[in-house]
Homo-oligomer: A and B are copies of this chain.
Amino acid sequence: MIKIALAQINSTVGDLKGNSEKIIETVKKARKNKANFIVFPELALTGYPPEDLLLKNYFIKQNYKFLNKIKKETAGITLLIGFVDKNGLKTYNSCAIIQDREVIDIYHKIYLPNYGVFDEKRYFFPGDTLPIYEINKKKFTLTICQDIWVKEHLNTLKEKKLDFIINISASPFSIKKNKQRQKVLSSLAKNTKSFIFYSNLVGGQDEIVFDGNSLIYSPEGEPLKQAGKFQTDTLYFNLKKYKKRAIKIKSNKIENIYSALSLGVKDYMIKNNFKKAILGLSGGLDSAVTLAIVAKAIGSNKINALIMPSRYSSPESLTDAIKLCKNLKIKYYKIRIDNIFDNFNLNLKPYFKNLPTDSSEENLQARIRGNILMAFSNKFGHLVITTGNKSEISCGYCTLYGDMAGGFSVLKDVYKTSVYQLAHFINQKDKKRIIPESIIKKAPSAELRPNQKDTDSLPEYELLDKILHLYIEENLGFQEIIDNGFDEQIVKKIIKMVDASEYKRRQAPIGIKISERAFGKDRRMPITNNFTS
């Protein structure tokens, strides 16, 4: 009898001790549930991605030490676990197959992703052997993540007449990823006529969030079981007692984004040992949505808001911000910035003389707010959360060291049009109007000069986001975007803004990737770049 457990755990990069304890605890629980074949995700022992930790010999050594500890817990069972194997100078992304306290084989990942956020060829040497194992007369093989996304490999698998295929993964969330994964798994099952056991990591790690969603597919290509989304979970499956009954996989785009953002910020705080967070609340939509997400993710008592009005802040912004804090039961502080701003202007006057006020003065206000947030952070150890969205960050419509100041960005990869959708989702979710309607309805403004509107500098967000998507996610050039029916002048202006603000993005705090192409490790553009698309 084989009873499989797919152990979808939340590892922390580098935390070999903590991860191995989590693994051992999960093994004990799975044993209680009579599982005798326990499968952990890719690099579950080290966390994913360990990046340049992999260049430290001492790190690799320690990873063996903790693998040995795990080995001791496998009396009478089979355990598969992702770890780092090294032979001579060659480091491998590996899976140990442990049976009854013996490592009976080590599989080396064959196909190493080196695109998007992935740099596996920087670290790993590819494996070259497809193993076939037999246990209780069941024939199976083992693959790691990318291995099953490669057609050549699929063809090799077809010929082997397997009962099942294991895939251990560290596959990060992005909006389209779930559907793609389901397609790959289903087609793999059908083509090989075997069960597929897909064990994915869960949890936030810097820019990326692993969504879990571990899956089991029937040899007919139907999904049989799915583990929890964005949460630790273990999926059990008894190969003998299997009944042909496909499940329906439900998925809601905005709910997924909401969950990814929540888990991303929560895990960043937990794993970096932040007890509390703080953010600047303007009365606008972005900071409202950010605050609501964070408050729900970590608890209202663990985040404070700083409201920092100036003479350009509208009275509505102030009342809206306070109303939101009350709705969410958030502690807030109010600090006016005018006297500080006036003193800056006083000291600058001898040099700026009678030059017209411009973005210099606007940025100065944003930077004063950034300084106050950072002063709270320094004094009380709070994590400063930034609130800018992807539309702004794309166009550089944000202030370096001002509203961009902070340790973690929640909406960095969320276009403004999706921020609206998130606001509606939040208000519908608990059937409670958390975000005041006036915040959603008012015209977006940075409130850094009298009567300022976002549309003074940017096209309407509906239009802007479509063009940004083509330029950033789809990698289209100027002419190709025009060919999609957009106005030449607007496209030219937007591309110029995006290209010119690369230096700002390079100094932006990290934020959660949800799209097919996020800023950060996912999109690597030179700052010095004279190409005109």
Contacts and interface: CB of A to CB of B under 8 A. Distances in A.
Interface of A: 12-16, 18, 49-53, 55-59, 62, 114-115, 119, 121-122, 204-206, 267-268, 271-272, 333, 335-337, 339-340, 343-344, 346-348, 351-352, 355, 358-361, 363-364, 367-368, 370-372, 374-376, 378-379, 400-401, 405, 407, 475-480, 503, 506-510, 523-531, 533
B372 A348 contact: yes
Contacts of A15: 530-531
Contact of A533 (B56, B119, B340): B56
B368 A371 contact: yes
B530 A13 contact: yes
Given A347-B336, A367-B374, A503 B16 contact: no
A396 B97 CA distance: 42
A57 B533 CA distance: 10
- What 6 pairs between A and B have smallest CB-CB spacing? A14-B531, A58-B477, A15-B530, A360-B378, A401-B401, A360-B379
Copies per complex? 2
Contacts of A527: 206, 272, 510
A93 to B, nearest CB: 15
Contacts of A62: 531
Contacts of A533: 56, 58-59
Contact of A526 (B53, B347, B371): B53
Given A119-B119, A370-B401, A13 B526 contact: yes
A355 B379 CA distance: 9
A405 B360 CA distance: 15
Q: Which of A271, A272, A371 has the most CB of B within 10 A?
A: A371
Contact of A339 (B55, B346, B401, B407): B346
B379 A528 contact: no
Given A13-B529, A58-B480, A206-B527, 12 more contacts: A13-B526, A53-B531, A115-B122, A119-B122, A205-B526, A267-B528, A272-B527, A340-B340, A351-B376, A361-B375, A506-B510, A507-B507
Contacts of A531: 13-16, 50, 53, 59, 62
A364 B368 CA distance: 10
Contacts of A51: 524-526
A525 B364 contact: no
Contact of A378 (B346, B363, B475): B363
A100 to B, nearest CB: 30
A351 B363 contact: no
Given A58-B533, A343-B343, A363-B374, A206 B14 contact: no
A57 B49 CA distance: 29
A495 to B, nearest CB: 11
26 contacts: A13-B526, A13-B529, A13-B530, A14-B526, A49-B526, A50-B531, A57-B477, A58-B478, A59-B533, A114-B114, A114-B122, A204-B528, A205-B528, A271-B528, A272-B528, A333-B351, A335-B351, A336-B347, A340-B344, A344-B375, A351-B376, A355-B379, A363-B374, A401-B405, A503-B509, A507-B509
Contacts of A355: 379
A347 B375 CA distance: 11
A271 B530 contact: yes
Contacts of A378: 358-360, 363
Contacts of A352: 375, 379
Nearest to A506: B510
A58 to B, nearest CB: 3
A475 B55 contact: yes
A505 to B, nearest CB: 11
A524 B49 CA distance: 11
A347 B373 CA distance: 12
Nearest to A363: B378
A300 B436 CA distance: 55
Nearest to A471: B56
Contacts of A339: 343, 346-347
A400 to B, nearest CB: 7
A367 B525 CA distance: 28
Most buried by B among A49, A53, A367, A479: A367
Residue in A13, A478, A480 with the greatest tally of chain B CB atoms within 10 Å: A13
